[in-house]
Structure 1
Amino acid sequence: MNKKLMIYPFNKRVNSIAKYAQLLENYILIAAVSPKSYGYEGKDISCIDGSSFVGITITSAFQESLEKCDSVLFSASTFLIDLSYYEERIQEAFNYNKEVLITKELAENFILNKKNIPSNVKVLGDNPPGKKISYTEIKHIQEIPVPVMTIFQIGEFCNGFDTQLLITKRFEEEGYRVSKISSCPLGSIFGMHMLPDYIYQSNMTYEDKIVSFNHFLISIIDEEQPDILLLQIEEAILPYNDKVTNHFGVIPEIVAHAAQADIGILSLYYNDFYDKEYLDHLRAFCRYTLNIEINYINMANTTMSIQEFDIMKPIHYVLVDWNIVIHSISSDYKNYDCLFFNTYDLSSVDTVYYDIINHLSQNKETVRIW
């Protein structure tokens, strides 16, 4: 039986859960709750990301929502909230015998500030114990026997995870079996496999991480027998500058070398004046560094200013009306030799989906599957 879920404090870091609530696994979203000070009360959740109307209203009624739910997901906030405030709210949820989940980012904040995480709190984004093992006894990678689609992005809040959810939905609606792997911790509540912890740890060599992750994917394919493997990586493919390094794009490199992609999607920030030379260089980087051909570009409705980057300051993102983004795609990039789309424009997502089906059907390497 599905559990009734409440999210607190609701903000853009967990917006995908509400926007795609119908895709949740084992949960039904009943409340998106934020403090009154956020200024969201009474507004549709679309106010957070500038998308079209969704039909879910944000409330500030924590106590009332707590009484109605079975589970509470506590999220790290884009606004500053003292961790002692979280501790009080988490204890309140326990007093009502609620299941308590917290996002991985919030768990990391607790650890960083030397705060204890109660043992009965579930951290969203962890793989089950059986999926945490590494496979380093064999020192070579194996061929992935099904088509592989990989979604990379240029930075945070590029809608890469939203793209994975929507593309998965389209494939599954048509009866295809999809194995889903994501480095976005929210993926676990949608029934996705998480990127194994050892990918981020320093006690394994770069080579062993590639080999081990390849065998991790093979084990999933053997178990689930999918028609397609869909990977989505939150970590940026490139550093922003010398201060904001994005781990120098190492995580995408490991994933790319472990699984040769048949379809590549890249998510970019909104910009109405990306020139052809820049886009060509970016795709060339993906081709030669990540071993992936970018077939499609998702332009997010988020932008930012690189002049603001400072390792000691939070990065500021600016929302762009999705209608402006769609207009830019149809006018500024219509002649570029790569298909642009936006996740909030479902007709463009459908266009990408059918083009992917056509591409896989014509590809000699994958035609045996399709």
Structure 2
Amino acid sequence: MNRRIIFHDPRDIRLEEHPVPTPGPGEIVLKTGAALTCGTDFKAYRQGHRVLLGDYPSPFGHELAGTVTAVGKGVTSAKEGDRVVAANSAPMDDCFWCRNGQNHLCPNLKLHNGAYSDYDLIPPHIVRHNLHALAPAVPFEVGALSEPFACAIHAAEINAVRPGETALIVGAGPMSLFLIHALTALGARIGVLGRAHASLAAARTAGAEAVFTALDGPVEETIRAWADGRGPDHVFEAVGKPETYLQAVALVRDGGKVCLFGGCAHGSLVPFDVHRLHYKQITLHGVFHHNPRHFAQAARLLSEGKVKTDLLIKGEVRLQDIPAFFAANADESIPKAVVRP
């Protein structure tokens, strides 16, 4: 049998038994080596998430790596016994966005879920475009970090960060650590604004040049002084709240760029000072998800040991304990945990 965590409704996920899948044409079956919990999964657990999960009930979990146990007809990118990491999306090849490298904006985008399972059936478009080999020396949990890291690489790319520029990250959660690594690879000077001293310490260990504590009072002048007296060239909002969207715009230098990396709840409205946006030429970039280029780069950098993964994964949970684990931690900001069958 194949044990799977199934999302039924907010705060209602269940361990269920299903038959082990048989691959159809173009599909593969992946035996989960390791999956990872994700802040987006916790957000979905609390309030639902139609973009991530589509219709409910739905398989749950989207960051995984494992071993191929069966391949369907026509598969050439993998064979039985291969260690691989699978993305949770890929181009469908049948629309304007998919043909132009923006498959993450496809109007028919269906994000794949099923990482919290003994076995997962990977669909043909992912097998064809976004399945990546994992070297024997790379632990499965390290490979599974490719998905969130790809999102951070996409954010750094969309803001066109250049060597020597200053980049401030608003928020010091797990995704901020991925942003630090992505921005470090581009040669940026990185600052992080957060609230928890332990998270800020991790940010400095990950490579942040400076950290700023929001709880200590106004920090705008301190941040401006750090950023050459002008303010940061780039601000990456990594919290996903209207108030921190506003803060990001207030902190960036005149002529600077803001990347709205954190996802706000559907229907959120932000009263930006459009006078400042216009007359100070502030550029706002929304960013969502990733495409195969970002995912491949993430998998490569992780395999090469360029990411301090010990800062990103803190703890382990068994598959059968996932419902209790989510219930106990639903309203907390916690590091990633490895999920093992």
- TM-score range, shorter-chain basis? 0.3 to 0.5
Using the size of structure 2 for normalisation, the TM-score is 0.33
Where is the strand percentage greater, Structure 1 or Structure 2?
2
Using the size of structure 1 for normalisation, the TM-score is 0.31
Where is the helix percentage greater, Structure 1 or Structure 2?
1
If asked which structure has higher relative contact order (CA below 8 Å, sep 6+), I would say 2
